[in-house]
């Protein structure tokens, strides 16, 4: 009887080892892509390549002229002016908001002034559009 138990324990150990090997092989097979998946991926990449090449073709043909230094400087000047304007408008609004808050009657919460809260959100949004959020000197 003891011999039979030992033989069965050995058989169980061998079966567990074989199970582990087969489970690892199955996981490996499940993690690989099927042929259809690979074909779809290749097709998507080919479409992307064609689209990128079609966008690159005008650049290679030389039909696109580079931006001149004067044009670049003009655009940068407009950008700096827009940033300054946003900063000035924000300071004006903050001053107005402060005056409104200081002169509001007791018991009136700033949340009750929904119109001005809406205006504040508009100004904050315009600041984010201009990229001025958190710039020095604007108090943001």
How is residue 43 written in tokens?
Answer: 């097709």
Mean of the per-residue pLDDT values of the chain: 81
- Specify the pTM: 0.36
- In this prediction, residue 20 carries a pLDDT of 94
Extract the tokens encoding 74: 């003009």
Tokens coding 119 = 């205006």
pLDDT for the residue numbered 57: 87
- Tokens linked to 14: 């061998």
- Percentage, residues of the chain above pLDDT 70: 74
**pLDDT tens digits along 30-72:** 888 888 888 999 999 999 999 999 988 888 887 777 788 999 9
Highest mean pLDDT among 74-78, 105-109, 118-122: 74-78
Domain locations along the chain: 2-61, 69-130
- 86 contacts 125 by C-beta, under 8 angstroms: no
């Amino acid at each position: 009887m003891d011999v039979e138990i030992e033989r069965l324990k050995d058989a169980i150990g061998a079966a567990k080892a074989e199970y582990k090997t087969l489970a690892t092989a199955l996981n490996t097979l499940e993690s690989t892509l099927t042929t259809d998946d690979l074909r779809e991926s290749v097709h998507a990449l080919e479409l992307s390549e064609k689209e990128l090449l079609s966008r690159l073709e005008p650049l290679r043909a030389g039909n696109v002229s580079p931006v001149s230094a004067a044009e670049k400087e003009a655009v940068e000047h407009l950008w700096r002016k827009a940033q300054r304007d946003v900063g000035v408008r924000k300071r004006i609004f903050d001053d107005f908001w402060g005056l409104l808050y200081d002169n509001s009657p007791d018991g009136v919460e700033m949340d009750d002034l929904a119109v001005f809260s809406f205006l504040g959100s508009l100004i904050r949004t315009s600041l984010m559009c201009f990229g001025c959020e958190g710039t020095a000197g604007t108090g943001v």
